Amino acid sequence: MDRVHALLRRVRPWMVYALGAIPAALLILRIFTGDLGIDPVKTIEHRLGEVALQLMVAGLCITPLRRLAGLNLIRFRRQIGVLAFVYATLHFAVWIALDLQFRWAEIGADLVKRPYIVIGFLAFLMLVPLALTSSNASIRRLGSAAWQKLHWLTYPAAVLAAVHFVWLMKAWAFEPLAYLAGITALLALRLWWRARKGLAATPARA
Amino acid sequence: MSNRWNTGLNWSDVTPERHWLNRRALLAGAAGAGALALAGAAEARIAAKPSPYSTDAAPNTLEDITGYNNFYEFGYDKSDPARHAGGLTIAPWSVKIDGLVDKPGDYALDDLTKGIALEERIYRFRCVEAWSMVIPWIGFPLAALLDRVGVQPGAKYVAFESLARPDEMPGVKAGLLDWPYREGLRIDEAMNPLTILATGLYGEAMPRQNGAPIRLVVPWKYGFKSAKSLVRISLTDTQPRTTWQGLQPREYGFYANVNPEVDHPRWSQASERRIGGGLFAKRVDTIKFNGYGEYVASLYAGQDLAKDY
């Protein structure tokens, strides 16, 4: 593990961003090779959403990986989170521009009336303050405890994003349910740790 | 076989609607002629007379029509049917016709359709998922077949059942839906001249992923009403229960008429994206009854279509 950590120390933030840009670059490449299928808009839209969700899950895995496997990736969590926000934003933008094609009346109606769109939109809104406070300065300004509390929003955002995915399918499909189950398990693990810690911190009563 | 269509042209080579509408380019004429030539070649394969019910909108490419399908018997993904339907056995094929008919029985497909003139029906096709295509079907009115088997006076509905063959259909094997796929129409809907049984498209026998060898096409209703690979047609006096109603009764009604005023609970039906335009496939307003109101609106006189969705 020490060798892994020694290797990871050489990884710079820009490298993480470069790695994270690959799915987007591949999509752009596929536009030019005509490899996006018969409905390229849906392919792009779904892929961007999928990558955003995967990055959110990756971000949620950082702490369990450290506690359970001793692998410390905490240095990269910010980049992963920012990338998740970028992909979610692109997903949303493609929906507005290429899918709904700026039909604002329909977009507005969808954003308040359609449960799965409302939920996806809420998940996106939750990511906004997280992206805005993804700097050391923000941690200093808010104080580490308040900042951490704010960033707990990652959990509801990820759950909502997965529900958004489950709900848009016409029938029950395996993949979205797998994401939802995984995120729920990660959340349950955190809550369980918290409860144990809380218990340990409470002085035993006679 | 499909190479026959490989003229080196893509859908993107066909003049976009906005161009031929405003007569901007001579190319529009060339593209139109190209489409006609294709249709002409098609007729050489399967003799089908043109129909006044056909739209003059440019059909989607064969590639679009055969590569983008909801046919859950072969999987959820729209590319699954093209990938997995190749091994489907479609000959011999028989259709069971039962219920309130004079001549029930298991009919070999050829016997069922013998002597019925085929027509080319270029129809708009609107999926409940808010996308659409234009498809040059080949088929004949369902009414012609129903007349042949003799509908008894008590029959009020027609129930359709699709093939469910697990060893050839991965989606059936995986139990993605409650198989076999079931659909239904009211008898007057079934007898409407727009309602056809299609046995081909683009001048060829029906591709497997589109519901070979025989499928229903009801152009004013959402695509899921047009059941594929039919093995059974039953005349009943009670409204048949359909697959989608069984799964989500609030989302999928028996009628499922294309209607921009009645949204799907989870998404708007006000507009649709025309498949085939690539990255900039145009979103257009959805028309009530998919634009076939002049032929079918009267079927629903006095019915509240928000309730009978």
pLDDT band at residue B43 under the 50/70/90 scheme: very low
> Which residues of B fall within a CB distance of 8 Å from A99?
273, 283
pLDDT top residue among A24 and B248: A24
B268/A98 Cβ within 8 A: no
Lowest-confidence region among A169-178, B28-37, B63-72, B274-283: B28-37
- Model pLDDT for residues B106-150, shown as the tens digit of each residue: 999 999 889 999 999 999 999 999 999 999 999 999 999 999 999
Confidence check: pLDDT of B302 > 90: yes
**Domain assignment of residue A8, yes or no:** yes
B209-213, long-range: CB within 8 Å, 24+ apart, which pairs?
Answer: B209/B66, B209/B69, B209/B71, B209/B74, B209/B81, B209/B82, B209/B85, B210/B65, B210/B66, B210/B69, B210/B71, B210/B81, B211/B71, B211/B162, B212/B85, B212/B88, B212/B90, B213/B90, B213/B91, B213/B93, B213/B109
Is A180 within a domain? yes
Q: Is the CB of B268 less than 8 angstroms away from the CB of A114?
A: yes
Chain A residues whose CB is inside 8 A of the B278 CB are 40
For A105, the closest chain B residue by CA position comes to B270
Residues A92-133: pLDDT tens digits?
999 999 999 999 999 999 999 888 999 999 999 999 999 999
Predicted local distance difference test score (pLDDT) of residue B272: 96
- Residue A203's pLDDT band, with cuts at 50, 70 and 90, is low
Give the count of domains, chain A. Answer: 1
Say if A205 falls within a structural domain: no
Q: Is pLDDT at A172 greater than 90 in this prediction? A: no
**Residue A66 in this model has a pLDDT that exceeds 60:** yes
Is some CB atom of chain A closer than 8 A to the CB atom of B63?
Answer: yes
Q: Which of residues 79-98 of B touch A (CB under 8 A)?
A: 79
Least confident of A84-98, A171-185, B197-211: A171-185
Q: Which residue has the higher pLDDT, B40 or B55?
A: B55
pLDDT band at B20 (very low <50, low <70, confident <90, very high): very low
Range of the domain at A181: 2-189
| Closest CA of chain A from B103, distance in Å | 38
**What pLDDT sits at residue B13?**
52
Return the residue in A36, A38, A39 with the most chain B beta carbons within 10 A, the one to mutate for interface testing: A38
Domain ranges of chain B: 13-45, 49-299
Q: Which of the two residues, B35 and A27, has the higher pLDDT score? A: A27
Q: Establish if A202 belongs to a structural domain.
A: no
Tens of pLDDT along B79-100? 999 999 999 999 999 999 999 9
The confidence score (pLDDT) of residue B7 equals 52
Instruction: Note the pLDDT of residue B23.
Output: 40
Mean pLDDT of all residues in A165-190: 91
Option in B131, B177, B282 nearest A39 (CB): B131
Q: Residue A80 domain-assigned?
A: yes
The topology (CATH level 3) of B49-299 is Sulfite Oxidase; Chain A, domain 2 (3.90.420)
What is the pLDDT averaged over residues B160-164?
A: 98
- CA separation, residue B220 to residues A28, B126, B190 (Å): 37, 8, 12
Q: Over 80: is that where the pLDDT of B2 sits? A: no
Residues of A with CB under 8 A from a CB of B: 31, 34, 36-41, 44, 98-101, 103, 106, 109-110, 113-117, 167-171, 173
**Local confidence band at B1 (pLDDT 50, 70, 90 cut-offs):** very low
Q: Is A204 part of any domain?
A: no
Compute the mean pLDDT over every residue in chain B, rounded to the nearest whole number. Answer: 88
Q: What's the ipTM?
A: 0.81
pLDDT score, position B17: 46
Mean pLDDT score, B43-50: 77
Inter-chain CB proximity A101 and B282 less than 8 Å: yes
Q: Are A171 and B177 a contacting pair at CB < 8 A?
A: yes
Return the pLDDT at B40: 46
**Spatial CB neighbours of B49, under 8 Å, sequence gap ≥ 6:** B117, B118, B119, B120
Q: Residue A168: pLDDT band by 50, 70, 90 thresholds?
A: confident
Chosen for mutation from B76, B250, B263, B282 (greatest number of chain A CBs closer than 10 Å) is: B76
pLDDT at residue A205, as a whole number: 52
Closest CA of chain B from A126, distance in Å:
22
